[in-house]
Amino acid sequence: MTSYPVDMTVKPEVEAFFDEATNTISYIVKDPTSDACAIIDSVMDIDYAAGRITYDHADTMIARVTEMGGTLEWIIETHVHADHLSAAPYIQQKLGGKIGVGEKIMVVQETFGKVFNEGTEFQRDGSQFDALFKDGDTYRIGNMQGFAMYTPGHTPACMVHVIGNAAFTGDTLFMPDGGSARADFPGGDAGELYDSIQRVLALPDDMRLFMCHDYGPNGRDIAWETSVGEEKAHNIHVGGGKTKEEFVKFRTERDAQLDMPKLIIPSLQVNMRAGEVPTDDDGNPVLKVPVNGL
């Protein structure tokens, strides 16, 4: 069992940027004692029907980092998202910073390299990223230390990132009334997801938790911040001491009824390349649609 360097005395400044098209929340996390900051789970805009990519969401975040005089040190992906495209390379080109993801990205690249029938030029070793995190790996954002917590289940490469008293859950948890994310993508596992969630819930009760998605269940306003204590008490899928057996049964039955995310086909091709759009033999950006491949 990895022991994690939790330090609740460090209190990063967190700003959230909600993307209405995909219900994703991207974050700027800033060190209050320096100009250093990180961006977590950025979004590139896509009109998939038109095959058009734009950068309004990323530009808003870039403008904010510039306005605060921030030095971008990290661009972190909590996992290979299946419902939105990452803008990491675009942001890196404008602001610098290292792009980091969990080292199990290699498993995801192997799986989806096959689904999309990628050629040998598609490296399956994670080399498209600047840093590959293992469980418990630490990194600096100015004077703050962050660490990665390995949380497989939704995907095999999911990491929760903990920076001081703030944890960025990716899709390992949703708000208490949203429950949890699906665990039926290739390499996903409901039992593993339950175990990963328990490790997040073992963090201090007053740890701030920031979600990657929210869908405003039952008509409530979109929200993205909760705490470990709130999740433990009230999460509708895992709170109040629900057992692993109960969770796995519920999650498996629910997942069997879910449609594929609308943007899964472009998202995987781009995100498994650290946000780069693949190109054809002439170097033109192009996306594939494998028929009956997923």
- In the complex, the residues that contact Fe ion under the rule CB under 5 A are 81, 171
Report yes or no: 27 and 72 within 8 Å, Cβ to Cβ: no
Write the single-letter amino acid at 98.
Answer: K
> Which residues make beta-bridge pairs with 160?
149
Nearer to Fe ion, 108 or 132 (CB): 108
Which one, 30 or 81, has the nearer CB to Fe ion?
Answer: 81
The CB-of-171 to Fe ion minimum distance in angstroms stands at 4
CB of 281 to Fe ion, least distance (A): 31
To Fe ion, the closest distance from the beta carbon of 175 in angstroms equals 15
The smaller minimum CB distance to Fe ion, of residues 139 and 185, is found at 185
The nearer residue to Fe ion, 86 or 227, going by C-beta atoms, is 86
**Nearer Cβ to Fe ion, position 137 or 171?**
171
Q: Which is nearer to Fe ion, 57 or 81 (CB)?
A: 81
Measured from each CB, the residue nearest to Fe ion is: 171
Nearest approach, Cβ of 41 to Fe ion (angstroms)? 9
As measured in angstroms, the least distance from the Cβ of 263 to Fe ion is 11
Q: Nearest approach, Cβ of 207 to Fe ion (angstroms)?
A: 21
